[in-house]
Structure 1
Amino acid sequence: MAQRPRWVPDEVDPGLPSAARVYDYLLGGGHNFAADRALAEKFVHAQPNARTIARLNRSFLRRAVLHLVGAGVRQFLDLGSGIPTVGNVHEVAHRAAPGSRVVYVDFEDVAVAHSRMLLEHEERATILQEDMTDPGAVLAAARATGLLDFAEPIGVLAVGVLHFVPPERDPAGVLAAYRDAVGPGSHLALSQFTWDLQPREMAQVVEVMSRSANPMHPRTRAEITALFDGFDLVEPGVVPLPLWRPEEGAVEEDPDRAGILAGVGRKR
């Protein structure tokens, strides 16, 4: 029997794949199990562009954080932050604005355990083990950290996570609770899988992820745009990942193969 890695919490079942660990594998990370890798390969079979989509989503996160820093935001609430990898929010924000503070939120045990190790000596960032679909609990725990000042603008990040929130959990209502808790000048950055790009491949992905702990719920562009209620979308609006403010000299990607729509809004 293979020895259990020391970073694996006792309560984790390595045989049950999770979206966070599948994403980690697609990004080239090392905090995943055989079951996650097997499911990820099925994901790639269903959506051959999966690894590129994962990379594009991570790149969008970086650009969104930098845009928020440029807009004066110095504190971030990262919902469904996942397993830490290169280009974490606090790393990007600290390089651009050294005093930035970050509160990560995730409920997946491996993501939280690894985040705690990474942030052990970091005074301006922490991780909360909470379910982002319970805004009351998340906001209470976030306030208790002392890192976020809710009288000042906060960047709420929901990048690559809302497609795991089923309609019955009311994703629009969840985001509205966070919107109402933050002050004017706060921003929401989100990305999520959509039916509007490559619907055949998306249907296959949904089938694959139905066998994991995190079934997937893609949404249309109209549904994703509606999630920004109470926010003014910044240009270019809700668009495929590679079209959201691409960096100069970036490799040109086919937006129709992006799989995910993304956008950033500013609270009115």
Structure 2
Amino acid sequence: MISPSTTRDGNYCQYCGGTATGFDHIIPTSKGGLDLDENKVPCCVRCNNAKATQTLAAFLNGNRDFINDDVVQTNRMLMQHVRFNYEKNGYVSRDVTGHVTVSHATEEDIEEELEQEIDKEKEKRKKKRTAPAKVKCAEFVSLSEEEQKTLVNEFGADDAARLIELLNNYKGATGKTYKSDYMAIRNWVINRLQEEKRKISGRVRSGVIQDELPKSVQKQQETQSQGGFEQKSITFEEWKEERRARGDYAEYSYMDFFNAIGGAT
């Protein structure tokens, strides 16, 4: 006999969206669940057999290949017992602490909380679907057009290209992957570039590979304050200009500049 819960929730399985042939106890009777309509949802044979005596969260997470999240997350009775965690990409059982429960709230309170929870989940899913497309800007690095523009505006075209190159080299050498290449650049690649620039500046001042440096860098200037000699620093653009002045119009990268003045220590 079909349960009233089947009529209430529609004649389709509340787990996979298939045709319901009966009902399932949300909390198994073997684990203290009551044989009441409030503890039942329409269910198909496959889902009923698969769930058996499992908790709701364990069943939903263990059968992601056929669970229909849209159906599950719009069923208020089910969402009283679980919530969807997007970071873990799975369901977690509701902690009674901090959440409205049947024994401590009116039906209106429960409905209001569930409405808010469902609205939040729908908004998260909508944002996830409308995320900007990533463009492959190096062999192992992908950024959205907006992310690339932000880096160029903030650091300039040359440094933005070097940031991507540093991350690309690291990912290619280690096999490391990131959920967001842009955040990886923000989190540590910028610091790596700044460290690289400090080393380059130090190499220039110490007169490393003099024949590769512009004359303006090779020339020492006496400084009365230090009673010694000091050389000027040089930027990537200045280095390229010096080479063009010699008739060298090759396309050089930041790495060429870095290697020409001595590389990393």
TM-score with structure 2 setting the length: 0.25
> Which protein, 1 or 2, shows the higher relative CO under an 8 Å CA cutoff with sep ≥ 6?
1
Q: Which has the higher helix share?
A: 2
TM-score with structure 1 setting the length: 0.24
Q: Which has the higher strand share?
A: 1
